[in-house]
Amino acid sequence: MILDLLENGDPSRIAISVAGGGSAVTYDQLRQQVDALAANLSRLGLGRGDRIAMALPNGLEVIASFLAASTSIWTAMAEFSFPQNEMRALGALAIIRMRTIRR
């Protein structure tokens, strides 16, 4: 259902707005972010059934990351406070952090 909204949302309308005067993105901008991140994950060799971890604060970045993982049927674990070694112990092949993807 969420991916249907992403795919079919009016490109010029706001898709997500962060409360308290935070950032807002249109469906078109969100689709571009999701597509770019999904392509990066794919270039790293990640695919169906692989686990990734997201060490991101709540906000647009974690939403776009989760949607990118979902579009390619990756398993995503989202927990900002987990130490990296615990994420690896849970089977994460990659960890998404602010502005980086580490494999």
Model confidence over 70-91: pLDDT tens digits?
Answer: 876 556 555 556 677 777 777 7
46 token code pair: 């990640």
Contacts of 67 (CB under 8 A, 6+ apart): 2, 3, 6, 30, 34
The model's confidence at residue 33, banded by pLDDT at 50, 70 and 90, is: very high
- Is residue 77 within 8 Å of 51, Cβ to Cβ? yes
Residue extents of the structural domains in the chain:
2-102
Q: Is the model's pLDDT at 95 over the cut of 90?
A: no
Residues in the chain, how many?
A: 103
36-77-93 Cα angle (round to 5): 70
CATH domain 2-102 topology:
Rossmann fold (3.40.50)
